[in-house]
């Protein structure tokens, strides 16, 4: 069989060899720890402003609209970070973007501690958002490409579970530091800069993605790495690995391919889902401390409430490991978003603190079980040559929509009240459930190349992606 000039046989062979490995090797486990550490600091930084917003609002005498402006600045940066980070990762590799983006958000988190007003803080938060989301999108892509198909969902969930510990750690630190000093919020941003330590470790430990390296003329390094993984797997199982059928894979691609079917449909469905789901999820998380204060709770009480329910984030991601590789991703996401919408109704109609606390814990559980499924699904539906960019555009659409959502929530909170805010967010979550459940792709236990095989003739060339076994 002859292939077009931009096809290469080695990449798909290495991909298939990666997918046949039946166990986690020693190197897989080391990577898991490093990736989890990177996501730990990412998650901590992502939620830092929401935790200190009430204190900054009091110290700087900000309006709700100005708080929304600073919050939206982060999401504006996330939008550009998702797309730019994804495209650069498809061109230059996954590893350099992961390292570089951590350096960016760490530097500007530290700068946020020295902000003197709304303008400079907003600029710093734009850059923090840029780095945080560039890192997240490419890290998810990296995991999907470096772990076998039968367990990549659980690996995404485990990395997320450890990473999510950054949320209660940061919330707990904020509840300790902020009430004790009018400028205690500054130390929350200082802690957010510690991610650079994990980046330095990743620089030494993480290899380049095998799929990306093989598809971009670096097959020798990728071959050596896969051989080591196979040898370790043989030692652990005491058995020979299944035979491999070499297959070809496209090694280059233009972003214009995303405007042609079937990638266009996948991109539109993913982007629509991310717009709705991200807006509702972050709308709840980012505004919860302020919404509680508006309902009569003190700043200390709202921070205590937030830090308490945040403890459920890690168990929520771990909960996903029970079903993420057993139930189709789109089905899981449909059920999770519907549950999220129902639980938001409790916040709309109930005022009892204990009931709200229980509902809040359940909300965080389903939110982060859903996040694990979303993080797994995002990079799965695009081919290697456009995987990070496609995931970045879908994810970025959600972030830019959240910019608008922040202002809408600020207006609705002032004009309509918190009950209406929770009702609208709940309804939107149910719409997201329908979108992904009815229109999403089937990805569970399928190799990335098999998922991509329907992307045929995108450049007028024959399909040279992996075929189903």
What's the pLDDT band for 10 if we cut at 50, 70, 90?
Answer: very low
User: How far is Cα 246 from Cα 32, in angstroms, rounded to an integer?
Assistant: 28
Predicted confidence (pLDDT) at residue 65 exceeds the cutoff of 90: no
pLDDT-derived band at 460, boundaries 50, 70, 90: very low
Q: What is the pLDDT of residue 169?
A: 86
Closest CA to 44 of 187, 162, 166: 166
pTM: 0.80
Percentage of residues in the chain having pLDDT higher than 90: 30
Sign of the four-CA dihedral 21, 380, 134, 403:
negative
pLDDT at position 68 over 80:
no
Q: Evaluate if residue 109 carries a pLDDT over 80.
A: yes
pLDDT of 205: 93
pLDDT at 362: 93
**Mean pLDDT over each residue of the chain, to the nearest integer:** 83
Alpha helix stretches (DSSP H) within 47-117: 48-60, 64-92, 94-112
What's the average model confidence in pLDDT over 173-188?
Answer: 84
Domains of the chain (ranges, CATH numbers): 8-237+259-452 (1.20.1250.20)
What's the rounded Cα separation, in Å, for the pair 77 and 134? 9
153 vs 137: CA distance, rounded Å: 15
Separation of alpha carbons 143 and 442, rounded Å:
19
**Could you report the per-residue pLDDT of 377-419, keeping only the tens digit for each?**
888 888 877 888 888 898 888 888 877 887 788 788 778 777 7
Candidates 190, 202, 170; CA nearest to 108 is 190
């Amino acid at each position: 069989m002859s292939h077009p000039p931009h096809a290469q046989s080695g990449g798909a062979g290495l991909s298939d060899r990666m997918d046949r490995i039946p166990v986690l090797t020693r190197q897989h486990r080391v990577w898991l720890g490093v990736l989890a550490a990177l996501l730990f600091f990412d998650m901590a930084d992502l939620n830092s402003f929401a935790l200190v917003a009430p204190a900054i609002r009091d110290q700087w005498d900000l309006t709700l609209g100005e708080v929304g402006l600073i919050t939206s600045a982060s999401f504006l940066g996330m939008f550009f970070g998702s797309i730019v980070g994804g495209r650069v990762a498809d061109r230059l590799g996954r590893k350099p973007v992961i390292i570089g983006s951590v350096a960016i958000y760490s530097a500007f988190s530290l700068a946020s501690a020295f902000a003197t007003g709304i303008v400079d803080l907003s600029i710093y938060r734009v850059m923090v958002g840029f780095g945080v989301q560039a890192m997240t999108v490419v890290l998810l892509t990296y995991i999907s490409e470096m772990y076998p198909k039968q367990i990549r969902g659980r690996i995404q969930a485990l990395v997320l579970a450890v990473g999510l510990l950054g949320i209660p750690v940061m919330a707990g630190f904020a509840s300790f530091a902020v009430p004790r000093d009018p400028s205690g919020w500054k130390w929350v941003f200082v802690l957010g800069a510690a991610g650079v330590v994990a980046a330095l470790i990743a620089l030494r430990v993480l290899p380049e993605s095998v799929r990306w390296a093989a598809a971009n003329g670096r097959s020798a390094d990728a071959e050596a790495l896969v051989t080591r993984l196979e040898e370790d797997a043989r030692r652990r199982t005491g058995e020979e690995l299944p035979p491999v059928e070499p297959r070809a894979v496209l090694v280059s691609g233009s972003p214009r391919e995303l405007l042609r079917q079937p990638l266009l449909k996948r991109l539109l469905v993913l982007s629509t889902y991310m717009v709705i789901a991200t807006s509702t999820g972050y709308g709840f998380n980012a505004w919860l401390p302020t919404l509680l204060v508006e309902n009569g709770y003190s700043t200390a009480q709202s921070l205590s409430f937030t830090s308490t329910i945040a403890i459920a984030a890690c168990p929520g991601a771990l909960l996903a490991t029970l079903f993420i590789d057993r139930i189709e991703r789109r089905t899981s996401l449909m059920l999770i978003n519907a549950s999220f919408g129902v639980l938001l109704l409790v916040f709309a109609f109930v005022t009892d603190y204990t009931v709200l606390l229980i509902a809040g814990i359940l909300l965080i559980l389903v939110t982060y079980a859903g996040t694990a499924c979303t993080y797994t699904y995002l990079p799965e539906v695009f081919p290697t040559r456009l995987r990070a960019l496609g995931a970045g555009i879908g994810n970025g659409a959600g972030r830019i929509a959240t910019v608008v959502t922040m202002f809408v929530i600020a207006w609705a909170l002032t004009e309509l009240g918190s009950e209406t805010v929770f009702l609208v967010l709940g309804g939107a979550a149910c719409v997201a459930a329908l979108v992904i459940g009815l229109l999403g792709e089937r990805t569970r236990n399928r190799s990335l190349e098999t998922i991509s095989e329907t992307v045929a003739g995108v450049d007028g060339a024959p399909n040279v992606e992996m075929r189903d076994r």
